[in-house]
Chains A and B, each alone.
Chain A
């Protein structure tokens, strides 16, 4: 633990609120892009196919990037004000890097019509036929800027906590693996930060390799890369970064929830083993994205399913049971922060369960690239990560004091109801084999797919409207509270 003075804390707070407001602006804008996609699929308004795929690309890259960024910023704030020395000025460079990256992606996709999807499956970016050549370069450079900004912040966090807590082995909790209790207790947030940020570093490095290879091909079109290798790299990047975003959120959950329940949440041998195992499983679970590539070595297909299954063990038996242990008969006041934490973990469990079902190879052959996939990851994101991030925003809005936390109002309830309704339409889409990443279903001759797909999309639009109305109501108090939190006194 560290002590910082009021001025330093104010500087951290100002940087964080800047991040928070930026996130709160971008989040509904990116939802709107998703809504437009469902509007097109629901045949409510006709939007051109090129616009659809540009929106899809920006929605995917933007959401994953913005959520990872705000998660990293939230963690940096909590670490920097309580646990280790985190630089505010470096934080601003990272912030501007991310802003430049996001602006670049907006220009590349919305003006240049770059629309290869977030995963830019090689060689599609170079053979997409309709987007402008310059939009490719702008998008690749923007992603590189984002990656560099994230990498700098991740390495800074790892370096800072390792310095403060006795080195790299210690922050991974290895001192808990021996027979005796360690002499000095390690805060649980440090262990989880170490695991999740280290996983992020691996992911960002993989993303950088891919991006640099893309840039090389961009400047030297005769270059040919191996499509299977590129697929492995991109899914390692994408899957790991999204998983890491959740685990970063879990880091502050371990630190903040005990303040509301009055029950400590310490590292034990089981917790240390669980998080080290999690790190291992995170790195291999991505392989389940390549089940339908029959030429992928068989051993890797087995590893993909096993890593996906095993990752559910530490997540549920340790973290989720930890949450239950925190809340069970704790007389917790059900204000916004604990409610969001509980529902966020529940969303993680529900989305995770559907993901594990789909990570079974024998099942994946019937669900791969149907709407089942966006169903489970939107659950994990919207009703998981997003709620855990909002819990943190409300916590800062309450000036880090549980007595200032507000009660969940109708806006929040509308947001959650709308979200689960919206998600249900994706799950039903998976059940009815509706393909994902289809601009519309009019080209399908099998009428039942066309009609069901369009109907589910139409209903989803209604639920997205609920989501936006709920958010608007939540924003009206949250933004005020965040701005007020800038005037805090020690």
Chain B
């Protein structure tokens, strides 16, 4: 399934679901405008609405339950992680990325960490990015060559956020900072080459 020209991604699914929700709200508003001139006595009008509300309530409760059960079983957190094929340390600092294909010692000086803002990684391998920051909060966000955001995690001083991702397509990926980190925040970019 695709949205005319857009492939099915999390973004297009979210947009489609939100569009349907919006259309539902708009329909209710239009209906209320159109029917408001047909007067109905208060108690019978309210009784009708309340009957509808009861059905809505059950439908909503069921939907929430189903979506919670399905969506909470596929989270990007460490508890759901597998053994990675390789580890990449990512140190964010104002306003550059330092990446290196190695684990980092807990007491290593992050400012002196010798990573680069460009890295080459293998396709179809599970990569674990261990992401931290040497100064303020940043956000390590990976975009594919079509400009779609495919994975992200915060880069926080004093903490390591471990992000696992398997690149299934070769090509060029761009890293953007998705947490405001000071003036040149929009220029804090890096490259990942997948071969």
Contacts and interface: CB of A to CB of B under 8 A. Distances in A.
A130 B182 contact: yes
Contact of B178 (A369, A431, A439): A369
B25 A353 contact: yes
Interface string A227-257: 1100100000000000000000000000000
B14 A228 contact: no
B71 interface: yes
A301 B38 CA distance: 48
A433 B147 contact: yes
A218 interface: no
Contacts of B9: 366
Interface string B59-80: 0110010011001101111110
Given A130-B182, A439-B186, A443-B186, A331 B76 contact: no
Interface in A104-155: 115, 117, 121-124, 127-130
B45 interface: yes
B84 interface: no
Interface stretch (A385-393, A444-452, A474-482): A444-452
B119 to A, nearest CB: 15
A346 B29 contact: yes
Contact of B78 (A294, A329, A369, A427): A294
Contacts of B40: 328-329
A433 B61 contact: no
Majority secondary structure of chain B interface residues (helix, strand, loop or mixed): mixed
B60 A312 contact: yes
B45 A329 contact: yes
A361 B145 CA distance: 24
Interface string A330-353: 111010000000110010011001
B18 A325 contact: no
A343 B174 contact: no
B89 interface: no
A414 interface: no
A325 B186 CA distance: 48
Nearest to B41: A329
Interface stretch (A25-33, A67-75, A198-206, A316-324): A316-324
B153 to A, nearest CB: 6
Contacts of B46: 263, 325
B10 A366 contact: yes
Interface string B168-195: 0000001010111111111111010000
Given A121-B180, A370-B149, A444-B174, A362 B77 contact: no
B171 to A, nearest CB: 11
Nearest to B76: A365
Interface stretch (B50-58, B98-106, B107-115): B50-58
B18 A357 contact: yes
A305 interface: yes
B82 interface: no
Interface string A454-468: 000000000000000
B4 interface: no
Contact of A129 (B13, B157, B182): B182
A212 interface: no
Nearest to A441: B186
A443 B162 CA distance: 26
Size band of the interface chain A makes with B? 35 or more
Interface string B141-175: 10101111111111011111111000000000010
Contact of B15 (A332, A430, A449): A430
Interface string A411-428: 000000000000000010
B75 to A, nearest CB: 5
Contact of B36 (A228, A332, A438, A444): A332
Contacts of B151: 365
B182 A349 contact: no
Contacts of B149: 366-367, 370, 433
Contact of A49 (B22, B72, B154, B184): B184
Contacts of B8: none
A372 interface: yes
A23 interface: no
A174 interface: no
A298 interface: yes
A128 B182 CA distance: 5
Interface of A: 49-50, 53, 115, 117, 121-124, 127-130, 226-228, 231, 262-263, 292-295, 298, 301-302, 305-306, 309-310, 312-313, 316-317, 321, 324-325, 327-332, 334, 342-343, 346, 349-350, 353-354, 357-358, 360-363, 365-370, 372, 427, 430-433, 435-446, 448-449, 452
Nearest 10 pairs of A and B residues by beta carbon: A443-B187, A366-B10, A329-B40, A353-B21, A448-B147, A433-B149, A438-B186, A369-B178, A294-B161, A325-B49
Interface of B: 6, 9-15, 17-18, 21-22, 25-26, 28-29, 32-33, 35-40, 42, 45-46, 48-50, 52-53, 56-57, 60-61, 64, 67-68, 71-72, 74-79, 94, 135-137, 139, 141, 143, 145-154, 156-163, 174, 176, 178-189, 191
9 contacts: A53-B180, A53-B183, A128-B183, A228-B156, A292-B161, A363-B71, A365-B76, A442-B186, A449-B143
